[in-house]
Each structure stands twice: as C-alpha cells, then as structure tokens.
Chains A and B, each alone.
Chain A
Amino acid sequence: MIESILIKGFRGIRSGQIDGFRKFNVFVGPNNSGKSAVIESLYLAGTAGQKAHLVTQPDQQQNTETLPVSISSPDLLGAPPLAQVLGRHNYAGQRSSRWEEGVIKVQVMDKKAPFTGFDIYAGQEHLFAREEEPHIAIFSLDLSGTEDQEIGKLVVKLIGQEAKPFSDKRVIFCWSPELSHFGKGSATWMIKGQPPVARHTLLFDTTVAQGQLSSLFIQEMLGNIPGFTQRIGQHVGAVFNFEPSSFNVQFLPINGGENRLQGWIAPKDRPGLPIDTFGDGMRAAFKLLTPLVALAESATQEEPGLLLWEEPESFQNPKTLANLLKEVAVLIEKRPVQVFFATHSLEFVAHLTLMLQSGQIDPDEVKLFRLNLADGEMKYSWFDSNNMAAWLESGMDPRVWGDFLPPVQFRLQEEHR
C-alpha cells in the first residue's frame, strides 16, 4: 500500500507532501488545489513497471553509468499511462526526446535538472518502436534498502534528503515539459510503501466512463476469471436494483468487427441492448465495475491493486452514487486494493461517512485529505472518520473553509447511532 507521496515540480505543484494514506483515501479541496495532479502522479508512479536501462552522459567516453530503471507500462485496461495523462490535458505527446535506432535519446529542457541528457534502452533483446517514443517521459528507481551508493547519491540529487532511508520507496523522474511546473522541463516525485503493479492500476475518470473498454482486456478477463460476466451482473444489479437473475451481461463485437467488444445488458425476456445506449450513470457504473471485478480478482499481496477514481459523483443520482460506492467497497473488501478518490461532492463524503458509521467500512481504513495549493506549495489537512462525522453532523463542510458558505448545506443524520 502506498503510504505517502512527495512531489517536486509536477504540474501545478512546485512542492508538496502527503503522509498517512490508508486503504480508502479521499481528496477534496478547491479547484486548482492539486487533487488531479496527485492522482496523476500516483497513477504514473503505480504504472512504472517496464524494465529498462538508463545511460547517463551517453556522449562522454568516461563516467558513463548504466542504471536499471522502470518506465511506463500499460495499466489494467492496457492503456499507455503517459498518453492517458497527457490526453487529459489535450497534449498528443511529449517533445523532449527523439527515437534513434531503437533507443530513446532524452534532452531535458530543465537545465538545472540532475540529468539533462541520457539514453534509455529497452533491453538487450528489445528495441523501442518509433511510435513508443512520444509516450515515454518518466523513469522510476525502486529503492528497497538499496546499498548501491551511486543510486543513493542519484536519488538524493533527484528528490533531496527526504529520500533517506532508502527503503520502500519509488522515485520518479519526468522530463515532459507538459507535465512539469510551469513547463520547467522536469519533475520528480517519490512514493513510500509498496506500489501496485501497472497491470493492476486503474485510473477511472469521465473519459474512461464514456469510452470503450479495451477488447484485449475483456478477452483476457473472460478467459481468466471464472464467471466474469455473472459477477459484473451481480454488482451492476446491486447498484441499479435489478434482480441479477433477470438479465445477462455479454460482450459482443461492435458492428460485426472482431477486434472491438462492447458490453451488453440482455434481459431474459427482451432483446439485449449495448451498454452505451443506456444513460450516462449506468454506462459509467458498468465501465467502472467491469475492470474493478477484474482488479479485485487479480490483485495479490505481492502485486497489489490501485484504483484512482476522479469525480465519482459524475453522472450519478445520489442514490446510485451511494449504491455504487457500496459495491466498490464490497468488491475490494479484504482485497489488496487501495483506492484514491478526488471529489467535489459533499454527498459522496457523506455517503462514505455513513458507511463508516454503520460499519460497512472499517474506520481505520479511511482518511480524507483537504488539499490547498498556494504559490505552488501544496498543503493539506486530514480528516479521520471521527473528524468527518463530527464536521458533517455539525453542518460543516470539509471542502470549503473560510468565510464562504455554500447556498445549500446539510447535516448528517445520526441514524446509525
């Protein structure tokens, strides 16, 4: 489980640190407070899984070093993580490197960065394809009690003395100007704790909710997870109050094509319909629950899972939102899956608090972080289950502080006491 994150120069965050993550973590805060940036930095850290080699000072004959690093690897849905993150900001790709005979040659724009020029090799038996190059802009170093003094020095250069002691940490260096603070050209961040593996990491946002699930992913899960479609049906049924035995979940080729599959809901007594013909809330729930069933099934203690869920309230009626949150909690209960939510919804926070009060989620597994970003410095305050309940019962709003009062306020009912 990821315990903390330290960020330097990633997107709007010039510097910031968050400690004390738990199984369920909620980020709230004003617009531009760093919520999405933290979600993205966790995603890129979690998906740094493809082994590669980094050669520093490649143009010099002497003092050249080769370091084992990891670069981005496809996530649970098979998506390339950097493309996902850049795509969220309407960037097609990063432009600080070039492809040369299967090697990525990087020139970091930030001349004050610990590295300004280096090569990345995929490995002795593999060369990078040219089209991979725009989607490679990070490397990570895993520190597991490393005794390697050179790596230690390098890590301190990258992130500072906070990297010590060198255990249970992953340091990420990013050379995409698009993702660095005011286009500076480099960013560094570090997570502490056991990271997930890339193929067990899911970033779920409104784009994924409205897109198509990868056919490769669906085919793999249909082959690997017994009763995959029935399990999806059970959870979808629970969210929308359908009797699970009254319909089937199917995945069928789109327009007869063999390479694209689409989810279908097929009632027993009527013709089936593609999921994308349903309302947005149903589509979003289906497209979350489908990979989550797979994630809950495949995550292990050695290869844990990570769900990063942005704006869970999007498209959802309050009742559906409550049901969906409950199903997510049911799905990953006692499974090695960590969840991070970023939300603007007080209702979402209230639903979660009620679940804590009623014992549906262990209070020790939840923490809410209220982020704030001022002049690039990210600060936070945290709320445990007691803080959350006390604030909501008092009609206080953890999302907005100061003199602003939302026009509509509500108070948590103490129905479970």
Chain B
Amino acid sequence: MTIHYFYEGKTEKEVLGGLKKFSGSEWKPHDAEGKGNLNQKIVDILGPMLGQEPIRGLILRNLDSHDGETMERIVQGVTGALKKAFDSRKLESSLVRLNQHPGHNNVFTLDIEQLDFHLALHIAVYRWREDFIKSTIDDYILDLALNPVTAGHLAQKLGITGERLIHKMTIEIPDLLKKNGITLAEAKDYVRLYAAVIKKHTSPPVFAKKTMANAEETQLRQVFAPLLAAIDFVGG
C-alpha cells in the first residue's frame, strides 16, 4: 500500500529516503514547500480518497518554537484541517482525533477503522544544543553526523579520524567563530559548516542524504526511533 508523506522541506524527504529500507511499502512524497502550506496540501491530496480507499499518511513537522509553535498547536492545526476535509465530504469529523503515541511524545496517531485511515504526525522536537533557537530535522542529522562511526566514514576523504572531525566541528570551529562574533544558532548552521569542512559543497538536504547513507543501522534506529515508530504505525 502507498504511504503518502507530507513534509515542509527537502531534508525531510531525504531522511525518509534513508529510512525507507526499513519499510516494505511504497512511498509517495508531497512537498508542501514550507510549513504554511502543509495542512492544505494534506487536505488537497488525501481529501478525494477519504472514504473511497484505504489511506496511509505520514506528516513531518518541525517544532518551530521560535515562531511560537507548540506541539499542541501543530496537532490542532492538522486536526482542524482534517476536520474541515471530513465536513466538506459529509464524513463524521468527530472521528478526527490524534492521540499521542504511547512510546514517543512527539508522535501523534490517527486510526479511523471504518475508513481504513491511518495517519501519523512526527514533530521534530530534538535540539542538538539546548540554546539552539529551534528544533528541526537537521538536529537529528547533526546528531547522526557527529556519531564517531558516521563521522569516521564522512572524514575518510580528509584523511583524518572521526574523532578529529568531531572535535573540529564541536569545539575548534565554533570557538573560532565565536571569537569573531559569529554564533551558530541552529542545527542547519552546523550542517552547512560540516559540509564545507568535509569538502562536500552541498545543501543541507544532500548532506542529510549522505549522512544517512554513511550511518549504521543501529544508529539510524536509535536517532530516528520516534520517526520509525510513526512509520511503523502507518504500516511501513
């Protein structure tokens, strides 16, 4: 069965791409090109299928707390959009109720048996550093990239060890930048820097793809445990 997944940026797509190998399903990506369009995109794609055929959907959001976002507001936004779609199609909108996953508080699930509708919402809440201004999927990628084994693979071209690369990335370069009045405020800043250091002049989504490809399965399962639980819920 096809799982439709909705995301606000291309990094999420690459992350899903790296986790697909744990799933036997077909995946269909839907890029909302920004969080502002995400709920509408969900309704536009899934609306015509409601009550007509089984639906499996996965939504990937970032907790943009710097914008005043909270998990409750994100859940409310998704719920409201789905309720509107249900109403417009004369379906019982009170069925739309997202429940927090018992094992992961940043995963919410919806299971409407009579419509064969399974949906999971994953909110990226992890911050690699507590003083980052927001939580994004890049924090998970950074965590993965700074794992000694993954870093070792990524550092091969430089001829240095993973530990040396991690030291550069977490201490030497941030300290140097700080002395020059430059602050690394979010995971994406580190990701761009990391890509430059390992001479991969790539965008964060491509860096995410390379990092996922160089990570070990146990590490992927550990870092992305909530997301894998969401995938598992929708039958992936």
Contact = CB atoms under 8 A, between A and B. Distances in A.
B47 interface: yes
Majority secondary structure of chain A interface residues (helix, strand, loop or mixed):
mixed
A387 B48 contact: yes
A370 B48 contact: yes
Nearest to A394: B30
A398 B48 contact: yes
B28 interface: yes
Given A386-B40, A394-B28, A394-B30, A379 B45 contact: no
Interface string A375-394: 00001011100110111001
A389 B89 CA distance: 18
Contact of B53 (A386, A387, A389, A402): A402
Contact of B45 (A370, A382, A391): A391
A389 B52 contact: no
Interface residues of B, number: 15
A401 B44 contact: no
B36 to A, nearest CB: 14
Nearest to A390: B44
Contacts of B45: 387, 390-391, 394, 396
A381 B41 contact: no
Contact of B47 (A379, A387, A401): A387
Contacts of A372: 52
Interface in A390-417: 390-391, 394, 396, 398, 401-402
B49 interface: yes
Interface string B21-51: 0000000101000000000110111011111
Given A370-B48, A382-B48, A387-B48, A401 B28 contact: no
B40 A391 contact: no
A358 to B, nearest CB: 18
Contacts of B47: 387
Contacts of B89: 382
B40 A401 contact: no
A179 B50 CA distance: 32
Interface string A332-373: 000000000000000000000000000000000000001010
A398 B44 CA distance: 12
A210 B115 CA distance: 46
A81 to B, nearest CB: 32
A381 B44 contact: no
A389 B37 CA distance: 14
Given A383-B48, A394-B45, A401 B30 contact: no
B10 to A, nearest CB: 15
Contacts of B30: 390, 394
Contact of B44 (A370, A379, A382, A386): A386
A381 B49 contact: yes
Contacts of B41: 390
Nearest to A385: B44
14 contacts: A370-B48, A379-B52, A382-B48, A382-B89, A383-B48, A386-B43, A387-B44, A387-B47, A390-B41, A394-B28, A394-B45, A401-B52, A401-B53, A402-B53
Given A381-B48, A389-B44, A394-B45, 5 more contacts: A381-B51, A387-B44, A390-B44, A391-B45, A402-B53
Closest 6 CB pairs of A and B: A390-B44, A381-B48, A381-B52, A386-B44, A383-B48, A387-B44
Interface of A: 370, 372, 379, 381-383, 386-387, 389-391, 394, 396, 398, 401-402
